[in-house]
Structure 1
Amino acid sequence: MEIPQMEMILMISLFLTTLLALLLLKPILKRTATKVNLPPSPWRLPVIGNLHQLGLHPHRSLQSLSLRYGPLMLLHFGRVPVLVVSSGEAAQEVMKTHDIKFANRPKSKAVHRIMNGGRDVVFAPYGEYWRQMKSVCILNLLTNKMVGSFEKVRVEEVKAMLEKLEKASSSSSSVNLSEIFITLPSDVTSRVALGRKHSEDETARDLKNRVRQIMELIGEFPIGEYVPWLAWLDRVRGFSNKVEDDMFIGGTSTTSTLLEWTMTELIRHPECMKKLQDEVRSSTKPETSFIKEEEVENMKYLKAVIKEVLRLHPSLPMLIPRLLSEDVKLKGYNIAAGTEVIINAWAIQRDPAMWGPEAEEFKPERHLDSSLDYHGKDLNYIPFGSGRRICPGIGFALGLAEGALANLVARFDWTGEVKPPGDQSDLAEATGIDVCRKFPLIAFPSSVV
């Protein structure tokens, strides 16, 4: 039976229309199916998404959200999807199982302007350039041999610090340890890298404030990064102007933050201070006026103290963000390429499921018989990160911190400022990519030499 021409045209049109509709709907249907397997997400506002939920201290805000939505949580900063990782088990998937897929870095205007276009070993995109930069950095500065070769510089700068403290002790004066601790690593780093002490430079005035400002800028979540047409808000609040200043930043802030929190916790816990002083002083001869780095190697409690400080107060509570380069399935969830990833080390290292009911307490003893190290093998303890993007400067930072701490507690007894009962200002946190004290650490050294 012959089909009329008009019906034939209609049948062909219907077929082509159906085919075209299927082709157009396929991506939508695929995304719809994928949404079923997305990680849990809190409700978000139009346009800005979940940006309003970050608060002044994002590591704390995100921990609170994760307690409700789980250790893998999907947020949206504007239109940018952001995966928040808040458990060691989930971090294992990101930094071990699928490490290469999560090895990239998101672009940031603040990093681009402050950190030489983001071309340094910390912020550079993953690829051949980053591999070459890391190789050069490690070979010239961060191998064990190179770190050892800088011991003379570290010794000289620690001795210079001790001389300042001796003067304060002889006059029964207080000292601002926060300022001292920012100057020490700054001078060591500048001498190693530039051949001169930065504190002797005219531009070094008010160093603490300027380094803090840079850390705060890098740690911000400017709305213009995620909602470009609202970038004018960043200009209104002064963010855009701040990132344009010509400023100095060295590898100083994380080491100074470590020393600052270490002395804070020891002063808050006199029994721990006494135990550490007993170990350090009994390990050296009475006439010894300076403790060498080789003597520190056998001080187990000192190393336990630093490990515990880095657990409770990791210098970067949220590790430098990562960027997923290709689609991946994570713990049964579908995560799309282009998703930014925040690993909340602060939350992971205070997780009661791993650290017990006293997870919030300062207890160095928990590390005395522990096999945990700083190299991210156990994803429940990642103060320096893990995987390909682990911090390459671990030895450089700890060599200075351990030697400085040993001499601080060996040479002096310490008392803090008298605080009213219940005062918790010593634990108040500043804002920024690193989290130091909000208020300076003021203490009184009393020489025992």
Structure 2
Amino acid sequence: MIASFIPGWLLLLLLFTVLVVVKKKIGSRRQTNLPPGPPKLPIIGNLHQLGSLPHRSLAQMSKKYGPVILVQLGGVPTVVVSSAETAKEVLKVHDLDCCSRPSLAGTGRLSYDYLDIAFSPFSEYWREVRKICVLEIFSTKRVQSFRFIREEEIASQMKFIAQSASTSSPVDLNQKLLALTANVICRVGFGMSFQGSEIDNDRFHEVIYEALAMLGSFSAADFFPYVGWIADRLSGLHARREKSFHDLDAFYERAIDHHRRSKKAEEGKEDIIDVLLKLETEKVEIGDKPLSEHILKQSLMDVFLAGIDTAALTMTWAMTELIRNPRVMKKVQAEIREKIGNRGKVREEELDQLEYLQLVVKETFRLHAPGPLLIPREAMTEFKISGYTIYPKTRIQVNVWAIGRDPNIWKDPEEFIPERFQNSSIDFKGQNFELLPFGGGRRGCPGVYMGAVMVELALANLLYCFDWELPQGMKKEDISTEEAAGLTVHKKEHLRLVPITYN
């Protein structure tokens, strides 16, 4: 969310304009019964208190001021909720009151008409596009149809790791797992791996990673809506962001054109573009308009930028916690190897048998939710959370990281203990507000099933095929769990482990 801070000289440029505009916009009406929060500075509000890891700073504020706090981020009043009860109020009780999205110029969305519809929750477009995503792209049947892709790519990655095992060389799991998920997502979307495909010209992965960096970058325009664009242009961020998203747009266009020219995909092996083009051929309408190429591109954007990063970092954190907790590692490997026997790999239909592995995944989501702060919502009407009045145009964020470490919910919240989910009905699909790695309500992630299957299958095979050791001279106490700033929470230091082939 906040990767850096606005240069001091730019604040002078913004000073008088911001004072006039913000005071007129926010201070023109008297607001009462607001949530508590820390004192703020003129112009920047509480931005200086967020630091490089805002979810941690906001969690500390909630310990002092309560589970509902109000912070002023530049010119934007923002309410942050940090408990399961208040998250339920936002995502369920008042879902309709705040299921809109603010216009976040920092993500480049305002430059692309086909993405603007995602921020109009009551438009027919928004409803119909979400229905297409849920029923056609992320349905259980459709996700299962991509099974052969996941299994092929995981098997390929196991072969690469086996080569390192033959020489006892450390493997960079951050890198390997990111490449794995990138290949799976690109094949699911484009029908081809990002490495060596005719679509990418060896650049697709660079474009994707640059887009992820732009999504996690600080943008003055997000916090100073009327004048922040000046800072973004002077810093070069605006031009870099525009280039990033235009590059993505060009790739989508070429991929769609490639599919239009190609013969029809084999039944059961269609990728997402095939599915969407089939709907276009069938003249499916969005509201009163036919399915357009804009909608195709938006759907691809959702799949790629939401899918590539989150599964990889979840697996990396899981392996980090397992190598730090040998008892858990031994227990989950024993379960997998006992259930699978000598079949050589874990298949997708066998995942339901691996109950302890599923507990490990839940515990990883609890401690290391991919997005520690859910993508912000915006209040559309006046309503109350825990008795505090929330006014229209207030930005609302749910601190999933803080909820996952709430001592009122979890015993020993900083410890990695998968058994806490044994005989528990708590799941991560958006109905239990104690565990919200994929959000909930109308804005919950529709790709939850696709992401969970990818994480479970890849982890199961990593743990079945190999034993894992630390590089020579390193002890488990030396493993860093420091986080890197961004839209998602990465492990700052790459995880390098030595694989030993399991016979």
What is the TM-score when the length of structure 2 is the normalising length?
Answer: 0.78
Deviation for aligned residue 1:285: 2.2
Deviation for aligned residue 1:143: 0.7
Determine if contact 1:300/1:368 at 8 Å carries over to the other structure.
no
- What is the RMSD of the two structures over their aligned residues, measured on CA atoms? 2.5
Q: Cα 1:341–1:58, aligned 2, differ >3 Å: closer, same or farther?
A: same
Question: What amino acid is aligned across from residue 241 of structure 1 in structure 2?
Answer: A
Q: Cα 1:262–1:206, aligned 2, differ >3 Å: closer, same or farther?
A: farther
Partner residue of 2:127?
131
Q: Judge which range, 326-335 or 212-221, deviates more.
A: 212-221
Deviation for aligned residue 1:346: 0.4
CA distance in 2, matches of 1:321, 1:419: 44
Question: What amino acid is aligned across from residue 124 of structure 1 in structure 2?
Answer: F
Q: Judge which range, 172-181 or 211-220, deviates more.
A: 211-220
Deviation for aligned residue 1:139: 2.4
Match of 2:238 among 233, 237, 240: 240
Partner residue of 2:189?
193
Query: What secondary structure is seen at the aligned counterpart in 2 of 1:275?
Result: helix
Q: Cα 1:172–1:361, aligned 2, differ >3 Å: closer, same or farther?
A: same
User: Are 2:361 and 1:306 aligned?
Assistant: yes
Question: What amino acid is aligned across from residue 335 of structure 1 in structure 2?
Answer: I
Partner residue of 2:161?
165
Instruction: Give the unaligned 5+ runs of structure 2.
Output: 1-24, 249-300
* CA deviation vs aligned residue, 1:78-135 (integer Å, no higher than 9, x gap): 22110111111111111111101111111111323499457289x5331221211111
Question: What amino acid is aligned across from residue 414 of structure 2 in structure 1?
Answer: E
Partner residue of 1:280?
336
Match of 1:180 among 153, 176, 179: 176
Partner residue of 1:142?
138
Partner residue of 1:18?
none
Question: What amino acid is aligned across from residue 359 of structure 2 in structure 1?
Answer: A
Partner residue of 2:54?
58
Report how many residues are paired.
Answer: 417
Deviation for aligned residue 1:242: 2.8
Question: What amino acid is aligned across from residue 237 of structure 2 in structure 1?
Answer: F
Determine if contact 1:113/1:243 at 8 Å carries over to the other structure.
no
Deviation for aligned residue 1:174: 1.4
CA distance in 2, matches of 1:414, 1:120: 46
Partner residue of 2:440?
386
* CA deviation vs aligned residue, 1:226-259 (integer Å, no higher than 9, x gap): 2243544334544323312335572200011111
Determine if contact 1:111/1:118 at 8 Å carries over to the other structure.
no
User: Are 2:405 and 1:408 aligned?
Assistant: no
Any residues of structure 2 matched to 1:202-241 within 5 Å, and which? 204=202, 207=205, 211-227=208-224, 228-241=226-239
Query: What secondary structure is seen at the aligned counterpart in 2 of 1:119?
Result: helix
Q: Cα 1:366–1:199, aligned 2, differ >3 Å: closer, same or farther?
A: same
Determine if contact 1:178/1:260 at 8 Å carries over to the other structure.
yes
CA distance in 1, matches of 2:390, 2:97: 11
Q: Judge which range, 96-105 or 221-230, deviates more.
A: 221-230
Determine if contact 2:67/2:81 at 8 Å carries over to the other structure.
yes
Instruction: Give the unaligned 5+ runs of structure 1.
Output: 1-26
Question: What amino acid is aligned across from residue 245 of structure 1 in structure 2?
Answer: K
Whose radius of gyration is greater, 1 or 2? 1
Q: Cα 1:423–1:28, aligned 2, differ >3 Å: closer, same or farther?
A: closer
Q: Cα 1:217–1:118, aligned 2, differ >3 Å: closer, same or farther?
A: farther
Match of 2:482 among 417, 428, 440: 428
CA distance in 2, matches of 1:120, 1:131: 13
Q: Cα 1:297–1:422, aligned 2, differ >3 Å: closer, same or farther?
A: closer
Determine if contact 2:378/2:395 at 8 Å carries over to the other structure.
yes
Partner residue of 2:421?
367
* CA deviation vs aligned residue, 1:31-51 (integer Å, no higher than 9, x gap): 44x42x110021111111111
Determine if contact 1:183/1:199 at 8 Å carries over to the other structure.
no
Partner residue of 1:347?
402
Partner residue of 2:393?
338
What is the TM-score when the length of structure 1 is the normalising length?
Answer: 0.87
CA distance in 2, matches of 1:376, 1:97: 14
Deviation for aligned residue 1:225: 2.4
* CA deviation vs aligned residue, 1:41-86 (integer Å, no higher than 9, x gap): 2111111111111110010011011111111111111221101111
Question: What amino acid is aligned across from residue 225 of structure 1 in structure 2?
Answer: D
Query: What secondary structure is seen at the aligned counterpart in 2 of 1:426?
Result: coil
User: Are 2:384 and 1:329 aligned?
Assistant: yes
* CA deviation vs aligned residue, 1:155-199 (integer Å, no higher than 9, x gap): 101100111011111121111111111111111111111111112
Q: Cα 1:169–1:411, aligned 2, differ >3 Å: closer, same or farther?
A: same
Determine if contact 1:311/1:381 at 8 Å carries over to the other structure.
yes
CA distance in 2, matches of 1:199, 1:124: 33
CA distance in 2, matches of 1:414, 1:29: 58
Question: What amino acid is aligned across from residue 65 of structure 1 in structure 2?
Answer: M
Q: Judge which range, 413-422 or 42-51, deviates more.
A: 413-422
Percent identity over paired residues: 37
Query: What secondary structure is seen at the aligned counterpart in 2 of 1:414?
Result: strand
Deviation for aligned residue 1:425: 5.4
Q: Cα 1:390–1:113, aligned 2, differ >3 Å: closer, same or farther?
A: closer
CA distance in 2, matches of 1:166, 1:206: 27
